[in-house]
Amino acid sequence: MTEASTARFNSEASSWDSNPDVQSATNSAFKEILRRIPSLSLDNPNKPTLLDLGTGTGLLSLLLSPYTTKTLSIDPSPQMISHLSQKLQSPNTPTNITPLCALITSPDDPRLQSQKFDIIISNLVLHHIPDLKEFLTLAYGLLNDDGVMCLTDFEDVGEESRRFHPEGKMEGVERHGLVRTEMVELVDSIGFKDGKVEVGWVMRKRVERWPGEWGKDGNGREEVKDGDGDVCEMDFNFLVVWGRK
């Protein structure tokens, strides 16, 4: 991610878990990942290892932890990782999650200690990545043979996709969703087998009625009261980018 993305997510870390859109996207991604990866089963005696790239405060890692033998949760935002680390210090939290604050660009990064993974996930990360081919190549290099990546993010279907983010939160946004045909070509070109880019779910999201309505920081949810007839919502497709090494 860029420095702009990191700065933005540092500032939002304390309120991240209370964002209903974050919760909605996380829960939907969790269900979709479980549906698509049979090895993520509570009955599996040989549970897989998992890498969560761009974990944020670890919401998805925490949901998936009962299904894995170990999870490495990476994010370049110190504040996001700090919040995850605080959660892991509480009683009854998983012991198989390792948080790591880092910006990983190579499978040979020494901070990874030569680890490879059975599953790689990320949710709402790809639209912040400047070079998607570099990111997918990294994922490929970090997978065990026959390992799978399952990445989720919203789809770019045209000009209206820009409205996924309020104008005050465009810092660090590299693209307004994923272009399905481009992602298919990338997955195939890198060498993934069984590559698929499909709609996994549709999320209904409140959006600005006009650019900048919610102010410079993009937080204006209390300005419009529910029931006044002026709340604007849109449906956004979420794509699942899938491939096997």
pTM of the model: 0.93
pLDDT at 1 over 70: no
The pair phi, psi for residue 56, each rounded to 5°, is: 65, -130
pLDDT at 183 over 60: yes
Show contacts of 40-43: CB within 8 Å, 24+ apart: 40/64, 40/67, 40/68, 40/119, 41/67, 42/66, 42/67
Bridge partners, residue 97, by sequence? 71
Q: In 72-228, which residue ranges form alpha helices assigned H by DSSP?
A: 78-88, 132-142, 180-190
**In whole numbers, what is the pLDDT of the chain averaged over residues?**
93
Kindly indicate the confidence band of residue 223, based on its pLDDT and cuts at 50, 70 and 90: very low
Rg (CA), the chain: 18
Hey, where are the domains in the chain? 3-244
The pair phi, psi for residue 114, each rounded to 5°, is: 60, 20
Superfamily of domain 3-244: Vaccinia Virus protein VP39 (3.40.50.150)
pLDDT at 98 over 80: yes
Average pLDDT estimate for 49-60: 98
Kindly indicate the confidence band of residue 4, based on its pLDDT and cuts at 50, 70 and 90: low
What pLDDT sits at residue 8?
Answer: 79
What pLDDT sits at residue 41?
Answer: 97
Express each pLDDT in 142-166 by its tens digit.
Answer: 999 999 999 999 999 999 999 999 9
